[in-house]
Amino acid sequence: MSTDRHARIPQTSPLETYVERRDALDATLRAVLAKGIYILGDEVKAFEQEFAAFLGAQYAIGVGNGTDAIELALRACGVEDGDRVVTVSHTAVATVAAIRRCGGIPVLVDIDPATYTMDPESLSLCLRRLDSAGKKVKVIVPVHLYGCPADMPSILSVAGRYDIPVVEDCAQAHGATQGGRRVGTMGALGAFSFYPTKNLGAFGDGGAVLTQSGELASKIKSLRQYGWRQRYISETDGINSRLDEMQAAMLRVLLPELDEGNKARRSIAEMYTRQLRGTGLALPVEPVDCRHVYHQYVIRVPRRDTFRSLMAGQGVDTAIHYPLAVHQQAPYRECAGTVSLENTERILPEIVSLPIYPQLGFIRATRVCEVLAETLSTLL
């Protein structure tokens, strides 16, 4: 890839992941094609074992995408029509769509404005209010947004008071840790996406559900394929959501480099933080005892549109994750109302994501810093 200082700097670039490992990935693809088994074969089995071992989980089950991973995790916890599931409004719509898909009623709580992840106080207030109205909650879904672990110790303790299982949405946090444990291993189940731009990304759709429980693992395995226990014999209503052999084989090439990739993301984050410290802007924080994996590096700026067009004018692309909170979108308006979502609504018009991905490299990250300095001197 060109590191010409005048070439455009994209906000993310899955193509560069491919280019970096082209030979290994091409060879792997050819081997899978020649073998003649394309769905749920040895590559998927091997990837499931390797991914579980990497995270320190007992079981990983490969599925079609991250949204399905959340849906199947919820169904394994028994979520069905009319069951309430609590999550945040500041997340990818996928989190909430997955709750709806299994018939659940999403209930949205607020975030901590420093980490952008579930605020345990807001969760606690929400559960207290629902409880005193005699309404039960089936599952709680914290999201490790932007690669930052949600406050799992507090969330698990609040959940424990009501005996509610926790499903972690880990779609943006492959390899992030809290108290030395990888996210996805602290709740009853963890759901991962391998969408191409994620920290561990495939070249198409893919996802996985992680768990320590053999019972939950076998439920997920059955649900991902028509509720089969035995081939062609359904025991429950299942769906078709399978990781394919080509994606699994390519993920096996990339998994051993995940920690390195996350390290590269962290050094880019460090450069940005050094550059921006002293501007007074809100920067990402790494909670104590946590390892943030910077799926995104999100700052808050005044006059965001101007900021973005000044950056773009200098060849630096930015993105917004996300332009609207979930409860501000038509199908999900009624999911709000149990607690205040003021932090979510307050940060939303200001957030912007800077370029970050492992192959960005020192030279281009330095260029982003220069352009940032110039842009902010105009803007602030």
Ligand X SMILES: *Cc1c(COP(=O)(O)O)cnc(C)c1O
- Site residues (CB under 6 A) for ligand X? 65-67, 91-92, 94-95, 143, 169, 171-172, 193, 195, 205, 207
The secondary structure element, H or E, covering residue 34 is helix 22-35
Q: At what angle do helices 42-55 and 245-254 cross, to 10 degrees?
A: 40
Instruction: State the nearest-atom distance from the C-beta of 306 to ligand X, in Å.
Output: 27
Nearer to ligand X, 32 or 63 (CB): 63
Instruction: State the nearest-atom distance from the C-beta of 87 to ligand X, in Å.
Output: 10
CA 312 to chain centre: 26
Two tokens, residue 16: 């560069």
Instruction: State the nearest-atom distance from the C-beta of 169 to ligand X, in Å.
Output: 5
Two tokens, residue 219: 């439920």
Rg from Cα positions in the chain: 21
Nearer to ligand X, 17 or 95 (CB): 95
Query: d(Cα 182, Cα 95) in Å, to the nearest integer?
Result: 20
Nearer to ligand X, 183 or 249 (CB): 183
SS3 122: helix
Asked whether the beta carbons of 314 and 374 are under 8 A apart, the reply is yes
Nearer to ligand X, 130 or 170 (CB): 170
- Using CB atoms, what's the residue nearest to ligand X? 66
Instruction: State the nearest-atom distance from the C-beta of 206 to ligand X, in Å.
Output: 7
Instruction: State the nearest-atom distance from the C-beta of 142 to ligand X, in Å.
Output: 10
Nearer to ligand X, 127 or 326 (CB): 326
Nearer to ligand X, 122 or 375 (CB): 122
Nearer to ligand X, 67 or 375 (CB): 67
Identify each DSSP E strand in 142-282 by its residue range: 167-169, 177-178, 181-182, 189-193, 207-211, 228-230, 233-234
Query: d(Cα 110, Cα 120) in Å, to the nearest integer?
Result: 9
Instruction: State the nearest-atom distance from the C-beta of 44 to ligand X, in Å.
Output: 16
Q: Which residue, chain included where needed, has tokens 């499931």?
A: 48
CA 284 to chain centre: 16
Instruction: State the nearest-atom distance from the C-beta of 348 to ligand X, in Å.
Output: 16
- The number of beta carbons lying within 10 Å of the beta carbon of residue 227 is 15
User: Percent helix, strand, coil in the chain (nearest 5)?
Assistant: 45, 15, 40
